[in-house]
């Protein structure tokens, strides 16, 4: 499919957030949109495991929640294994008074993307692939429009550009927007002292299905690591077998995990920290070696480094002189002659560790929330334009206020989620060593945490509050 010469909104990236953005704009009657992706087809990569209730509420507005709920596993519980029994920490069914989706939906990201792209096709929009954005500059004749350059030499003139192009966003780089950890970068000492700074994930089947205590997410927190397991819906590659997502922290002593972990590498982690540990300690003496659990098939595996970053702003104007690779940047706010509007969503705007399954969720909610605001902007700016020329800077700033508000609100949410995820991660990775209070009282933080969690999670409202925080329902959208 050919690129148009002009479009009101160009969405760069057809991952979950780009697709959701397109659907949200269409829902608001904004039809002149173009969505491109550098990949010849969808990523088909499992990655995000969970869709939370607030995200399903948002996706319901673009008619995607029901097909996703049908395709996934509607789980209601998260918890962890401790000293031979399971402790439930979050009860999502208790959210039924607040949402039509009282669940954590377990679904692979590849299925989520497939459902969103199918809905987009139904709406009459096809992702243009493979099509890589390389550069942008302000249009010489209309400084409110950006010329967006593609690898194949084509140029698209766009009134607004949405950077939905992932953590290494080209759009963000061209716009000259910074991207860093709000608390400063982690030092090498911190990394060396942390329980783990890398994680490995895999989707696997086992030679025999596991006898898990409930349909949800289970963490096995051992003194030296954390292991996660959750059931996934059947995959076309293993249609009749029970599929599981498993995840491990990689302690610094194991070195950097391989980029594409092999079955034998994952099996070695399963042997050391995997489900066999639960079986052994739950059913027999912990002095026995763990029950052997063997991987039958591995459908997908990856490793990644745990870190956080947020864009300095989610909204900017393309600086007039900005071209990819230029050192000199002009701050869009200081120059009158600027290019079109640039907005950042999803991983292009924020990334953080996977604890609590928040990454894709936040991105999807950014995207759905942007639709009405941007559609209204496009409508107003077109109405206030005579012969392609927008009026004065004052008009601009008035027109753009809602976009700036959207950007500030979403950035605030991203910072709040980064804070929450960091606290969660710290709680999960507490060291198993004794500290001394006032030099006389020995405290093992790992044991103390387990004891406190065991006591407070007996209370139903505590389990509901944990589910509430993770679900995202505490925010309005």
> Which residues of this protein are in contact with ligand FAD, per CB under 6 A?
12-18, 36-39, 43, 47-50, 109, 132-133, 164-166, 170, 201, 302, 304, 346-347, 354, 357-361, 363
Which residue's CB is nearer to ligand FAD, number 12 or number 270? 12
Give least dist CB 246 to ligand FAD, A.
12
Rounded least distance, CB 130 to ligand FAD, Å: 8
Q: Could you say which DSSP state residue 369 is in?
A: H
H helices of 123-256, in order, are 170-175, 188-193
Nearer to ligand FAD, 291 or 469 (CB): 469
Angle at 22 between CA 144 and CA 165, to 5 degrees: 75
Please state the closest distance from residue 121 (CB atom) to ligand FAD, in A.
16
Instruction: Give the count of alpha carbons within 13 A of 466, CB side only.
Output: 19
Residue number with CB closer to ligand FAD (179 or 390): 179
What count of other Cβ atoms lies within 10 Å of the Cβ of residue 178?
Answer: 10
Rg (CA), the chain: 24
Q: How far is the CB of 182 from ligand FAD (least distance, A)?
A: 17
The alpha carbon of 70 is separated from its chain's Cα centroid by a whole number of angstroms, namely 21
- Beta strand extents in 340-476 (DSSP E only): 341-344, 350-351, 434-437, 441-444
Rounded to a whole number of angstroms, the minimum distance from the CB of residue 170 to ligand FAD is: 4
- In the complex, least distance from residue 433 CB atom to ligand FAD, rounded to whole angstroms: 29
Nearer to ligand FAD, 290 or 340 (CB): 340
Query: Would you say 81 or 300 has its CB closer to ligand FAD?
Result: 300
**Residue placing its CB nearer to ligand FAD in the complex, 47 or 411:** 47
We find the least distance from the C-beta atom of residue 441 to ligand FAD, in angstroms, to be: 38
Based on CB atoms, which residue is closest to ligand FAD, 156 or 281? 156
Q: Which residue has the tokens 């489900």?
A: 275
| Residue-wise burial string across 48-76, b where 16 or more C-beta atoms lie within 10 A, e elsewhere | bbbbbbbbbbbbbbbebbebbbeebbbbb
User: What is the spatial distance between Cα 31 and Cα 9, in angstroms, rounded to a whole number?
Assistant: 9
Task: List the one residue out of 112, 119, 117, 158 whose CA is nearest residue 135.
Answer: 158
């Amino acid at each position: 499919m050919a690129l148009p010469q002009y479009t009101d909104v160009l969405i760069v990236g057809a991952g979950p957030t780009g697709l959701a953005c397109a659907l949200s704009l269409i829902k608001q009657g904004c039809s002149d949109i173009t969505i491109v992706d550098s990949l010849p087809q969808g990523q088909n990569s499992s990655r995000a495991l969970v869709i939370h209730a607030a995200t399903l509420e948002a996706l319901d507005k673009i008619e995607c929640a029901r097909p996703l709920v049908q395709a996934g596993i509607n789980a209601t519980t998260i918890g962890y294994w401790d000293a031979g029994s399971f402790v439930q920490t979050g009860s999502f069914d208790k959210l039924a008074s607040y949402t039509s989706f009282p669940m954590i939906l377990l679904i692979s990201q590849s299925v989520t993307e497939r459902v969103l792209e199918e809905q987009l096709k139904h709406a009459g929009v096809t992702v243009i692939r493979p099509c890589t954005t390389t550069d942008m500059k302000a249009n010489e004749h209309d400084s409110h429009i950006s010329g967006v350059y593609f690898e194949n030499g084509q140029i698209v003139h766009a009134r607004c550009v949405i950077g939905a192009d992932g953590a290494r966003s080209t759009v963000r780089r061209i716009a000259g927007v910074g991207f860093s950890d709000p608390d400063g970068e982690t030092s090498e000492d911190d990394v060396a002292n942390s329980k783990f700074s890398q994680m490995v994930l895999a989707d696997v089947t086992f030679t025999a299905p596991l006898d898990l205590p409930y349909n949800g997410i289970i963490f096995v927190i051992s003194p030296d690591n954390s292991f996660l397991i959750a059931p996934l819906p059947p995959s076309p590659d293993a249609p009749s077998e029970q599929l599981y997502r498993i995840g491990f922290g990689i302690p610094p002593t194991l070195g950097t995990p391989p980029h594409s972990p092999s079955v034998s590498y994952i099996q070695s982690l399963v042997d050391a920290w995997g489900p066999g540990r639960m079986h052994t300690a739950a059913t027999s003496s912990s002095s026995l070696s763990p029950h052997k659990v063997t991987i039958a098939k591995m459908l997908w595996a990856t490793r990644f480094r745990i870190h956080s970053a947020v864009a300095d702003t989610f909204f900017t104007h393309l600086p007039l002189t900005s071209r990819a690779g230029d050192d000199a940047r002009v701050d869009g706010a200081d120059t009158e002659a600027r290019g079109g509007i640039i907005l950042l969503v999803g991983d292009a705007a924020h990334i953080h560790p996977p604890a609590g399954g928040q990454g894709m969720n936040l991105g999807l909610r950014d995207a759905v929330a942007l639709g009405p605001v941007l559609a209204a902007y496009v409508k107003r700016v077109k109405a206030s334009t005579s012969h392609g020329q927008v009026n004065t800077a004052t008009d601009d700033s008035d027109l753009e206020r809602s976009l700036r508000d959207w950007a500030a609100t979403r950035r605030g949410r991203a910072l709040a989620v980064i804070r929450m995820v960091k606290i969660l991660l710290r709680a999960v990775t507490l060291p198993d060593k004794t500290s001394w209070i006032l030099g006389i009282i020995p405290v093992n933080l790992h044991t103390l945490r387990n004891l406190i969690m065991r006591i407070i999670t007996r209370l139903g409202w505590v389990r509901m509050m944990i589910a509430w925080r993770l679900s995202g329902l505490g925010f309005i959208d």
